[in-house]
Amino acid sequence: MSVLQELVAGIGIPNFKVLIPEIIILLTALVVFTIELLTKARFLITVITALGLFLAAIPALTMEQGDITFYGLYSVDTFSLTFKFFLILSTFFVVIVLRPYLESKRTYYGEYYYLILFALLGMMIMVSAPNLVTFYIGIELASITIYILAGMFKKDYLSKEGAFKYLILGGTGTAIISYGIALIYGRTGSFDFVTVADSITQSNLDVGGVAGIVLLIIGLALKASSVPFHFWTPDAYQGAPTPITAFMAVAAKIATFAVILRIMVEAFPFAYEIWNLGWALLAAASMIFGNFVALKQDNVKRMLAYSSIAHSGYILAALAAPTDVAFTALIFYSLVYIFMGLGGFIFLSALERQYSWSNHIDDFRGLAKRSPMLALFMLIFMFSMLGIPPTVGFFGKLGIFLALIGSDIWWLAVVLVVMSIVSAGYYLRVVIYMYMHEPISSARFNLSLGESFTLAFMATAILILGIYPTVFLDISQLLGNFLIQGVGR
Amino acid sequence: MTVEFVNATFPIITVSIVIPLIAAGLLFLLDEKHAKPVSIITSIIVFVLSSYMLFAYDYSTYKIQFYEKYTWIPYLGVSYEVGVDALSLTMVWLTALCFVAAFVWSTNIQKRIKEYFISFLVLEAACIGVFVSWDLVWFYIFWEAMLIPMFLIIGVWGYAERIYAATKFFIYTFFGSLFLLIGVVGMYIYQYMEKGILSTSYFDLINLGLPFRLEVIFFLLLALGFAIKVPMWPFHTWLPAAHVQAPTAGSVILAAVLLKMGTYGFVRFSLPWFPEASKYFMPVMFTLGVIAIIYTAMMALAQTHIKRLIAYSSVSHMGFVTIGTFALNMNGLNGAIITMISHGFTSAALFLAAGYIYERVHSYEIKDLGGLARFMPVFATLFMISAMASAGLPGLSGFVGEFLVLLGTFDVSKLTAVLAGISLIVGAGYTLWLYHKAMFKESELSSSKIERWEKLRDMNTPEFLSFIPLVVLMFVIGLYPAWWVRLLEKTSAAILSKFIGG
């Protein structure tokens, strides 16, 4: 028996079959990296990236049985697979609109593609983590690549400033997270969610446990751009190339919400009173601050950045209630936010390529006359973010509502309602400028096929889900129940 | 309360909701010149369907007819559930008719034709949906979905201050709707906690048996949503702004259909769901209703802008509907519902008249008018009938409803009935004053005005066609109210079953 065989017999071979999506993404990233070194065939790079994402999405969707692999360090289950599929999907849309945008801005670099893939890999690791260490590796991989992506407008001061802010604050966030993890390890002697869950309960909380949880919440809130840890968000979102902003605001956010939910429910199920209160306060602050500041913005990209802070508030509000309804609501809202968020930011990315478009609200004047179809899409995105039926945003808010009122947390429900009304101020403003002002220029818009397809897809999805949310609600409920059943495994 | 259902053999209600939506989608693809015929034909089809329902409806018993129910979101207990009783049916029919009138009138529209008709078609689908939904989630979807097209209609095709008016309209209604949503969600959760039923169906929520304290809370939450829509004093300030700025057809729909949603909400939800709270709040509602009637009638007297005057008169009429509803007896409720229908016709006709005048004279200011009657006799006659119907002249529709409301209110509160009755005189006052100033006063006309007036044409065909059915119906209701009362009788009795027994 050779040494290798002995090792294998001793500790077993990890089950690589369940890692196929990650492996495909990693290989695609390496292939893109190599091709980018050798050729300058931009179209080829896009196609290979998109193809890799497509190939990775199939196993993520069809894989039936999950497994905990890598010696208990990596859990492939329904929850993570679903989120992986949606992360891949949103990355796919970012990738297909990226090239025309970069070429029009004359900042094309092949690096974008493999960095995006590595960030995606990090997020996939994040949502698969059954363990604080795996989670940490995932969040670091995702964050570091996104720091670079945010600063890829190398000649643009705003982009560099945003990326630098993001780097400093994001680095602080990961430091805080690692400190929290250390405290929790010191308290429980384990990184494993299941073991941590058993050791930290409501009755035996002490300084170490509480401090660990609180630090972890702060670090995660920073990643989810929740007020008061949001300072990097507006600058980084505004400065980054717009498709990358879409990637940050949607994929990275969704992964963060998934991982927050997972850690809270699986690692601290018996200390829920702390994190209920913590997230409720953070959510209320995000809703209030995000909406009020968004009202004052004239740059629509920055406005959407603040609106995404407000949406973090809506989504995180679900964590104020430790019930299956709340978890379902959080998952549902995260999933449908993909469509609104991508729609809004990719709309901007498509128009930024046009002549004399600066994302200023004045540029939206008379858009409905210049291009009725585009205006209609933006109208749908705006009303969906506002939460007016028959768009899916309504069901997102309704779910959160049900969760909050069902757990008797009326104050947060009222904050949500009032802030929704405030948000009408800036979402309507975009619609007003598009439909009720005269255009200042009559230049026509030229959209690439990928951009038109993405916008049409998002708008249609929002309307269809707004009429028939059943499937998504069922998925969310399934995942919510899955998490709860996992408690005290 | 148990309710019987008559299932639809043909999904006629769903079809009437879907047809306008299909037409709207079609218009998006078609050329601009098809917009008018397609919309008019669509609205006529919907009107024919609703008329068919009106005559096929069996009013001898209280059953929900043309009923359809399909499971929709099992996780939340939501179904797609539509059907009509006499109240819904008359509202649907009113909606369909007013949309025909609005579309026929709109053949004069020149600006952004395609988008205009698409907005109206979507609005029609949402308005019908509100009145036929028995599932609260669907009700809310239609209730809110209506905001989007109306916001665009006021904001895009309105007059100078249109953006302010559209935003005010949107924010006010959205504000009220969210409280309505909190109320409904609260009841839904209560139902789940107490009874373990997951359902948003009207017929489940009606049997909650809420404790009095919760009944009051939910009543107030829902009432806020409805009161803004009605609008009741003091939530009425969005209405004059919206009416003045909206295009003519928009004003017609706003007054004839949208305002009815609020009063419909009171009748449909507040009374059967919260009987104790309704009794408890009766004095409050009476007070607000009387203030609305008198205060806004006074306000109407002081107006110089035709549309603003009609808008205030609408608030005043809605005050009658409120007190009729909360008189909690048969006469009051029948009167309230008939006033709703009648106000649909009269306000639609009056706003059409205002739009008609504006098309000719390009002003809504009363001082710019005068002596028009001689130059356009057909219009003058129709306008006269509408104004008289609105003022409550016996023999026309306004009188029937208001008389029944006063009759019902008198049994409960004599003071309210007397005060509301007095304001009828003020109502007659401002209507006559408006008509007198705008149409007569020939002797005071300057020669330049006469010169201009002589060039004016009387009504053209689309204008006449959109006007005439409304005027005919004012007579129909006014001269033969018994049919309407019979139609509504069983429904009113069912709605009031928790107050008067049976």
- Of the partner residues B163, B178, B189, the one whose CB lies closest to the CB of residue A421: B178
Residue type, B86: A
Q: Which residues of B touch A394 (CB under 8 A)?
A: 141, 144
Helix locations, B327-413, DSSP H: 330-361, 377-391, 397-412
Region B177-195 average pLDDT: 89
Strand order in the sheet with B4-7: B4-7, B63-73, B78-84
Are B427 and B313 in contact by the 8 Å Cβ rule? The answer is yes
Alpha-carbon distance of B321 to B314, in angstroms, equals 11
Q: Which residues of B touch A323 (CB under 8 A)?
A: none
Residue type, B231: P
DSSP assignment letter at B267: I
Alpha-carbon distance of A123 to A42, in angstroms, equals 25
Picking from B254, B166, B127, B179, the residue whose alpha carbon sits closest to that of residue A428 is B166
Picking from B108, B102, B55, B63, the residue whose alpha carbon sits closest to that of residue B84 is B63
**Helix%, strand%, coil% for chain B, nearest 5:** 80, 5, 15
- Of the partner residues A379, A417, A470, the one whose CB lies closest to the CB of residue B72: A470
* Chain B stretch 67-96, residues whose beta carbon is closer than 8 A to a beta carbon of chain A: 72-76
Region B67-95 average pLDDT: 90
Quick one: closest CA in B to A436, which residue?
B156
Report the Cα B101 to chain-centroid distance in Å.
14
Cα dihedral A452, A454, A460, A462 in deg (nearest 10): -140
Directed axis angle between helix B461-479 and helix B481-495, to 10°?
70
- Residue A384 sits at φ, ψ, to 5 deg, of -70, -40
Q: Which distant-in-sequence residues (6+ apart) come within 8 Å of B483 by Cβ?
A: none
Longest CA pairwise span in chain B (Å):
77
HEC secondary structure over B85-121: CHHHHHHHHHHHHHHHHHHHHHHHCCCCHHHHHHHHH
- Domain ranges in chain A? 14-486
Are A314 and A284 in contact by the 8 Å Cβ rule? The answer is no
HEC secondary structure over B199-247: CCEHHHHCCCCCCHHHHHHHHHHHHHHHHHHCCCCCCCCHHHHHHHHCC
Alpha-carbon distance of B379 to B374, in angstroms, equals 10
Shortest CA gap A470–chain B (Å):
5
Distances, alpha carbon A426 to alpha carbons A171, A356, B118, B167, B183, in Å: 32, 23, 25, 11, 26
How many Cβ pairs closer than 8 A exist between chain A and B? 82
Q: CA quadruple A466, A340, A50, A450: dihedral positive or negative? A: positive
Helix locations, B230-305, DSSP H: 238-245, 248-253, 259-265, 271-273, 275-280, 282-301
Picking from B137, B167, B185, B135, the residue whose alpha carbon sits closest to that of residue A466 is B137
Q: Would you tell me how many other CB atoms lie within 10 Å of the CB of residue B31?
A: 8
Q: Is B141 in Cβ contact with A428 (below 8 Å)?
A: no
Picking from B153, B154, B165, the residue whose alpha carbon sits closest to that of residue B116 is B153
Q: Which of A426, A432, A476 to mutate to test the interface with B (most CBs of B within 10 A)?
A: A432
Please calculate the CA angle A379-A381-A382 and round it to the nearest 5 degrees: 65
Are B149 and B116 in contact by the 8 Å Cβ rule? The answer is no
Q: Which residues of A touch B186 (CB under 8 A)?
A: 405
- Domain ranges in chain B? 281-502
Q: Would you tell me how many other CB atoms lie within 10 Å of the CB of residue A6?
A: 10
pLDDT string in tens for chain A (489-residue length): 677 776 666 666 777 778 888 999 999 999 999 988 888 788 888 999 999 999 999 888 887 666 677 777 888 888 888 999 999 999 999 999 998 888 888 888 888 899 999 999 999 999 988 889 999 999 999 999 999 999 888 888 888 888 999 999 999 999 999 999 999 999 888 888 888 888 887 777 888 888 999 999 999 999 999 988 888 999 999 989 999 999 999 999 999 999 999 999 988 888 888 889 999 999 999 999 999 999 999 999 999 999 999 999 999 999 998 888 899 999 999 999 999 999 999 999 999 888 778 888 888 888 888 888 899 999 999 999 998 888 999 999 999 988 998 888 989 998 999 999 999 999 999 999 999 888 888 788 888 898 999 999 999 999 999 989 988 989 898 888 888 887 754
Predicted confidence (pLDDT) per residue in A107-116, tens digit? 888 888 999 9
Residue B462's pLDDT band, with cuts at 50, 70 and 90, is confident
Q: To the nearest whole number, what is the mean pLDDT of chain B?
A: 87
Are B44 and B35 in contact by the 8 Å Cβ rule? The answer is no
Are A21 and A55 in contact by the 8 Å Cβ rule? The answer is no
Quick one: closest CA in A to B112, which residue?
A369
Shortest CA gap A251–chain B (Å):
27
Predicted confidence (pLDDT) per residue in A131-168, tens digit? 899 999 999 999 999 999 998 888 888 888 889 999 99
Residue B424's pLDDT band, with cuts at 50, 70 and 90, is confident
pLDDT at A84: 92
Q: Which residues of A touch B72 (CB under 8 A)?
A: 468, 470
Length of chain A in residues, anyone?
489
pLDDT at B5: 84
Q: How many helices (H) and strands (E) does chain A have?
A: 21, 2
Q: Is A389 in Cβ contact with B145 (below 8 Å)?
A: yes
Q: Is A398 in Cβ contact with B151 (below 8 Å)?
A: no
Rg of chain A, C-alpha, whole Å: 22
Region B195-222 average pLDDT: 87
- ipTM for this model: 0.90
Report the Cα A135 to chain-centroid distance in Å.
15
pLDDT at A454: 93
Quick one: closest CA in A to B190, which residue?
A406
Q: Is B155 in Cβ contact with A436 (below 8 Å)?
A: yes
Q: Which distant-in-sequence residues (6+ apart) come within 8 Å of B384 by Cβ?
A: B435, B439
Asked if A470 reaches chain B (Cβ–Cβ under 8 Å), the answer is yes
Overall pTM surpassing 0.95 (yes/no): no
Q: Is B162 in Cβ contact with A413 (below 8 Å)?
A: no
Residue B502's pLDDT band, with cuts at 50, 70 and 90, is very low
Tokens of B217: 């809370």
Rg of chain B, C-alpha, whole Å: 22
Q: Is B79 helix (H, G, I), strand (E, B) or coil?
A: strand
Helix locations, A224-271, DSSP H: 232-239, 242-246, 253-262
Alpha-carbon distance of A54 to A24, in angstroms, equals 10
Alpha-carbon distance of B130 to B42, in angstroms, equals 19
Predicted confidence (pLDDT) per residue in B1-39, tens digit? 678 888 888 888 999 999 999 999 998 888 888 888 899
Greater confidence, B221 or A356? B221
